[in-house]
Amino acid sequence: MTNNDILRRLRYALNINDSQVAELIARTGRKTTADEVINWMKREDESGYTELTSILFCRFLDGLIIDRRGPHPSGQQPQPLEFLSNNEILKKLRIALELQADDMVAIFQRAEFVVAKAELSAFFRRPEHRNYRKCPEQVLKKFIKGLSTKV
C-alpha cells in the first residue's frame, strides 16, 4: 500500500475533504494547495497523479495530531520522518485520535479483526526492543477500515 492509498483511505475514514487535508499539512509549516491534494488522490494510472512522499504524509499525520490535540507543549514543530513504517503510521493515528489500547481493540473488532492488547503493544515498542513487532500492511488496512465504521 502506498502513502497515496493510505491517505485516500484515511480521508474517507475521517470524513475530511481535500482542502482540510491541505490545512492539516499547513499546520506543520508547509504550504499545500488543494490541487496538490487532488493529484495525490488520483489513481496511479490517471493523468496528473503525483506520488505522496513519506515526508509529506508524515506532515499530514503530524498536522492531524496538532489539529486534534493542539501544538506540542514545547511549541516546537515536529520534524517529519523521511521514512514512515506502518508502525509509525499506527502510532501517529493513535496519538491524534487519543486512543487507548481498549479503544484500538474495539476499532479492530469493528473490522472483524482480532488483535490482542499484547500484540498491539508490540507494534508501539522501539525497534531495538526484544518484543517489537513490525506492523503488517493487513493490520493497518483493518485498523483504517474499523476506523471508517466508527466515524
pLDDT for the residue 75: 76
Output the nine-digit C-alpha cell for 56.
509529506
The per-residue pLDDT for 70 is 87
Of 80, 68, 87, residue with least CA distance to 127: 87
For residue 99, the Cα-to-chain-centroid distance in whole angstroms is: 13
Give residue limits of the domains in the chain: 3-69, 86-150
pLDDT bucket at 150, cuts 50 / 70 / 90: low
Residue listed under C-alpha cell 500484540: 119
Residue percentage of the chain with pLDDT more than 90? 85
pTM beyond 0.85: the answer is yes
Instruction: Determine the pLDDT at residue 87.
Output: 96
Please check the confidence at residue 89 and state whether its pLDDT lies above 90.
Answer: yes
Mean pLDDT to the nearest integer, 23-48? 92
pLDDT tens string 120-139 = 999 999 999 999 999 999 99
CB of 117 closer than 8 Å to CB of 105: yes
